[in-house]
Amino acid sequence: MDAETTAAWIRHAADLIAADAERLTRLDAAIGDGDHGHNLDRGFTAAVAALPNGATPGKTLIAAGRAIVSKTGGASGPLYGTALRRAGKSFGDAGEIDAAALGAALRAALDGVRELGQAADGDKTMVDALAPAVTAYETALADGADLAACARAAAQGAAEGAEATVPMEARKGRASYLGPRSVGHLDPGAASTAVILQALADTV
Ligand code: ADP
Ligand code: MG
Ligand code: MG
């Protein structure tokens, strides 16, 4: 995965999020304040505009993450921005990212989200999609899968993790204000994490 592929991931994620913005916002309207899809659409549009020319994969993700932090409203902006910046830092100066390096970057992204948001597994947040995605990636890697197959495993793990948020009661973010009334709804941030990792799998 080179810088051009990294940029293509962010562009494809922006396209999928734009196409899905209404659904993500509807999910957030049910248990939050109904802005998640539009927040992310704005953030990823800014990320695409900020993509550097002739940079490394690391610099590409750091630029995207910085744009997302500054342009995405709500709790999810700093969390996704941190995730991308941490992943970018983990890439270092490498011009080409192999399967192990991408796995380490996804792990670094998860660590960043956990540190900033302090959400535990099962709190009904984006962590519940990102954590199983990272685990699935690492399992595939240990089984000898190549980068594309690892990314497909991560996307699958994220989709299953997102689906598993439905019966959870929210303990972080706005949805936690609803207490038990948050049960029975898909977490919007977990849903968007699945979209972003699907974009990765599609791209690589
Ligand atoms: P806001 O709630 O500020 O309007 P968004 O609607 O853009 O922000 O994002 C809401 C999503 O952010 C939630 O669905 C959840 O997945 C995620 N989220 C909120 N708080 C946290 C947290 N502390 N840790 C991890 N994810 C969180
Ligand atoms: Mg919201
Ligand atoms: Mg909001």
18-38 burial, b at 16+ Cβ within 10 Å, e below that, comes to: eebbebbbebbeebbeebbbb
Long-range contacts of residues 85-90, Cβ cutoff 8 Å, at least 24 apart: 85/61, 85/112, 86/111, 86/112, 87/61, 88/57, 88/58, 88/59, 88/60, 88/61, 88/62, 88/63, 88/64, 89/58, 89/62, 90/58
Nearest alpha carbon, ligand 1 atom 19: 173
Ligand with smallest separation from the Cα of 192: 1
Look up the ipTM and state it.
Answer: 0.98
Mean pLDDT, to the nearest integer, of 39-46? 97
Cα 57 to ligand 3 centroid, rounded to whole Å: 30
65-117 pLDDT, tens digit each: 999 999 998 899 999 999 999 999 999 999 999 999 999 999 999 999 999 99
Does residue 176 carry a pLDDT above 90?
Answer: yes
Cα 186 to ligand 1 centroid, rounded to whole Å: 12
114-152 pLDDT, tens digit each: 999 999 999 999 999 999 999 999 999 999 999 999 999
Report which of 188, 168, 144, 190 is spatially closest to residue 28, judged by C-alpha positions.
188
| CATH homologous superfamily of 3-203 | DhaL domain (1.25.40.340)
Work out the pLDDT band at 188, boundaries 50, 70, 90.
Answer: very high
Ligand 1 closest atom vs CA 31: 14
Mean pLDDT, to the nearest integer, of 28-33? 97
Pocket test for ligand 1, best of 26, 35, 36, 76 (most atoms within 8 A of CB): 76
Cα 38 to ligand 3 centroid, rounded to whole Å: 10
The finding on whether 117 has its CB within 6 A of some atom of ligand 1 is yes
3-class secondary structure, 24: helix
pLDDT of residue 186: 98
The finding on whether 78 has its CB within 6 A of some atom of ligand 1 is no
Percent of the chain with pLDDT strictly greater than 90: 98
pLDDT of residue 117: 98
Q: Using alpha carbons, list the distances in angstroms from residue 85 to 56, 91, 144, 145, 180.
A: 13, 10, 27, 26, 34
Percent of the chain with pLDDT strictly greater than 70: 100
Mean pLDDT, to the nearest integer, of 35-64? 97
The finding on whether 41 has its CB within 6 A of some atom of ligand 1 is no
Per-domain boundaries in the chain = 3-203
Work out the pLDDT band at 53, boundaries 50, 70, 90.
Answer: very high
pLDDT of residue 73: 81
Q: Please name the residues in contact with 194: beta carbons below 8 A apart, sequence gap of 6 or more.
A: 129, 155, 158, 159, 161, 162
Mean pLDDT for the chain overall: 97
